[in-house]
Structure 1
Amino acid sequence: MKVTPTSIAGVLVIEPKVFGDERGFFFESFNQNAFNKAVGSKIEFVQDNHSRSARGVLRGLHYQIQQPQGKLVRVTNGAVFDVAVDIRRSSPTFGAWVGFELSEENKKQLWVPPGLAHGFLVLSESADFLYKTTDYYAPEHERCIAWNDSTLAIDWPVANPGQQPTVSKKDGAAPAFNSAELPD
């Protein structure tokens, strides 16, 4: 696999080796040894999640203030714009974000280490989004930041300028980055 560091320490774009011919394709979507070598430490995943969303749905920006989750994310159907935001106060890139298109076509994955907020916008008619997590979902510790926060200024690729993505009530009521409860 090809591993590309991003401008935020620890966030990695992972591209598997894909073997294809007229019959279709094959690739290893996850290999524990190769993944641990890529991130430089032993990571254990405890939960796999799968969501399906329609075009224009935006989920995020989510994180947990306790039991922070590292996430290895990928798309098996469709395409999304996937975003990681550095909310680690001690980080030199605190408040910075990176975004990448993940799709069934490019088969890229994104490693979002614990301590970052995460979200995605569906670009295709629908998208199946799969992710492995390093800790269990703990709703009492889940927090979110407004997807359209002016301080973060994430450049979401909405289909029509001025069009608002479809968000949950929780995400629609999320606080601004500067007033969000962040982990210590």
Structure 2
Amino acid sequence: MVPLTDPLSDALALLNVRAAMPSRLEAGGRWALRFEGYEHVKLGAVLSGSCWLTVEGARPLRLEAGDCHGAGGIPGRLGALRDPQIGAVLALMHRQAGRRWTVAALAAEAGMSRTAFAVRFKALMGLPPLEYLLRRRMRSAAEALRTTDRTVASVAAEWGYASESAFSTAFKRVVGHPPAHHRPGRPATGISS
């Protein structure tokens, strides 16, 4: 299996999204919709044309074809994607998840000090940067073990581990059991965020 590489898919996976209700709205002319507050996340995309998005307490935003938007109780992890510095670093972390990242290297990519980066990342994501990266790696590794016949050593190497032993120790710490429990035929278990 090819690991997920776009941050939105990974953020949704980390939020443990289990169901979605797709719907489509096609409209033209002058019209408006009002959505009352609700606890669920509503994501939308403008496929063609344009529209105005007005959120109470914020300036109206013109959306064009290709723009996406969110409404409702948008968790920090999705909101983090809108932060120019943290969102860019998240995309980089997802594209190069097997790289041996340090907080200093991630902060440099964001153009921020280590402290400022770590504080903002944790505020938006709910986890320190390297813990987030570890959980992302382990979730993807668990999926690879569950859906392929690859060896644990092969999966470990893909996610930046020089030894199967180090990978197995990290995997067990995050997931709660050894990698072998994710082999085909075993019931799937979740990774908490």
TM-score by length of 1: 0.28
* Structure index of larger Rg: 2
Bigger share in strand: 1
